[in-house]
Structure 1
Amino acid sequence: MGKIRITKQFNFETGHALYGYDGKCRNVHGHSYKLSVTVIGTPISDTSNVKLGMVIDFGDLKKIVKEEIVDQFDHATVFNKNTPHVELAKELIDRNHQVILADYQPTSENMVIDFAVKIKARLPENIQLYSLKLQETETSYAEWYAVDNTPL
């Protein structure tokens, strides 16, 4: 049986600020993100398995992405932990806001790399992360592909 790719889509709201940026995004603002997660594998062929014919149960994929990404980032504000925004972050945390202090500038590009690492770590060994698409606005998105990130 051949390899099959399946995709599940997720939505979440996240705020961020790009410290040092020379445009409007240096200000704290938010996006309605859309995340498409595509995995690849061989459908289960064991007729005694309740998940016969599935690469991975969409519910199992949803649980992984929800726990690692959506529950963490939805309605949170993301700052680079090495910027002066840390002072603002501390104030927000003191006021019971959800804040993520990331090891990176919270661009869509860096967020999608972070998401790939987190999702890959949770997938069953027979399932590989194929790609991620993180849509920041209706016309702007970042993509991550395993083939682009595999050592030659």
Structure 2
Amino acid sequence: MSFIRITKQFSFETGHALYGYDGKCKNVHGHSYKLSVTVIGKPISDIKNVKYGMVIDFGDLKKIVKEDIVNVFDHATVFNKNTPHVELAKELENRGHNVLLVDYQPTSEMMVIDFAKKIKRRLPENIELHSLKLQETDSSFAEWYAYDNI
């Protein structure tokens, strides 16, 4: 049986600020992110399996990504917890805002690395994460490929 790649796309709204950055992104702002998740595996060949012919049920992949990424990051403001932005984060939280503190600079590059780790932990044994594409704007995105990270 051939290896097949399956891709599911997601979208979420997230705010962030890049502490110490020398451009406009040092200010709190947001993006309409688009995340493409591609996994690779062989279609299930057991004709008695209800998921016969599938690499992975799109619904199962959706559940993983929604629980670990979309539901966590959607309409949250992300700050690096190792910067003075933590003071702003506390103030926003005290005012009822959804704030997410991470241990990295919340760039698309670092977010896609974080997302890859989270998704890989949840995939079934016979399915591999092939790639991720995190689109920050219509013309800017970061990509993660498994074969670049062996």
Deviation track 1:81-128 (CA, whole Å, cap 9, x = no partner) reads: 011111110011111211111100000000000000000000001000
**What SS does the corresponding residue of 1:114 show, helix, strand or coil?**
helix
Runs of 4+ in 1 over 4 A off after TM superposition: none
Residue 85 of structure 1 corresponds to 85
Q: For 1:59-102, what per-residue CA distance to the aligned partner results, in whole angstroms no more than 9, with x for missing partners? A: 00000000000000000000000111111100111112111111
Partner of 2:12: 12
Q: Give 1:135's aligned residue.
A: 135
Amino-acid identity (%): 82
**Equivalent residues, number:** 150
TM-score normalized by the length of structure 2: 0.99
**TM-score in terms of structure 1 length:** 0.98
Gaps of 5+ in 2: none
Corresponding position of 2:22: 22
One-letter identity of the residue aligned with 2:35: L
Counterpart residue number, 1:53: 53
The alignment partner of 1:53 has SS state of coil
Residues 1:74 and 2:79 aligned together: no
Q: Which runs of 5+ in 1 are unaligned?
A: none
